[in-house]
Amino acid sequence: MKKKFFTAAAAIVMAAGVLAGCTSSQPAADETQDQNTQAEDVSTDESKGAEGETADIGYDKVLIGLDDTFAPMGFRDENNELTGFDVELAQAVGEVLGIEVEFQPINWDTKETELNNGNVDLLWNGYSINETRKEQVLFSRPYLNNRQIVLVLADSDINTLADLEGKTVTTQTASSSEEAIFAKEGLKDTFGEYVTFATYDECLRDQEAGRSDAVIADEVLIRYYIANHPDTEYRILDEYISNEEYGIGARKEDTALIEAINGALDELKENGKGAEISTKWFGEDIML
């Protein structure tokens, strides 16, 4: 949400400057001191943000688009409240920048369209950085590593990527997992059947029901899912599809916003808040 750049305090300072220029008399010493103090206060207010001081970013509230089924990054808890690593990290960044953060679940298949049409201001939910997406959005610096991995049931005869030949493989539609599958030359052509679902949850339920043999998905999601489903035995293949990094996506013109977010991420890394959030969700500090 765009905000007004011209603050009331700034107006007072400018008015004082105009009046001073229209008279030849010198202001009283205490009046000069008050004006200088006021000017310093305005400068400080306008510059608060990442690392304590940064330029005005043009927003007093940002609307963040997310897939609310992508645990542990952003999802709904047992009370139907949005939670997750990225949700808490975004809230912490908002506190550093002094702006309000609001979350908007969106159709992740059309996330870039939602962003560039102005329906949301940021894409922040395990959003993988790649060259195709860089053509459509402006990315923050990477803040987390991830891999695209293959999940099978513990008793599966699949042990390598070559063993996926003739098997039924699923992933989320228009996801970084699907992009990784297409990018690995010849891999998809070996599958017996390739099925996509709107969410990874549907992929995993399909596998549990015995209708598919393997799920290709983000490692952070899969490891969290395994930890929270102890009644089903799984295996992650040693051989993975690709390495990647997570970033925050903004519209191309929002350079000031992304620069401020980068500074805030650095501050959270330095002051330990990022490590605190990471340890809560992953058991250790894995932030970049």
Tens place of pLDDT per residue across the chain (288 aa): 544 333 333 333 333 343 333 333 344 444 444 444 443 443 334 334 444 443 588 899 999 999 999 999 999 999 999 999 999 999 999 999 999 999 999 999 999 999 999 999 999 999 999 999 999 999 999 999 999 999 999 999 999 999 999 999 999 999 999 999 999 999 999 999 999 999 999 999 999 999 999 999 999 999 999 988 999 999 999 999 999 999 999 999 999 999 999 999 999 999 999 999 999 999 889 999
Q: What pLDDT is recorded for position 1?
A: 52
pLDDT of 35 reads: 43
Q: What is the pLDDT of residue 283?
A: 85
Measured CA to CA in angstroms, residue 40 lies from 4, 35, 168, 228 at distances of 20, 9, 65, 52
Q: Which pLDDT belongs to residue 247?
A: 98
The residue ranges of DSSP E strands in the chain, in sequence order, are 61-66, 69-70, 74-76, 82-83, 100-105, 122-123, 138-139, 144-153, 168-172, 193-197, 214-218, 234-236, 242-246, 249-250
Distance CA 102, CA 128 (A): 21
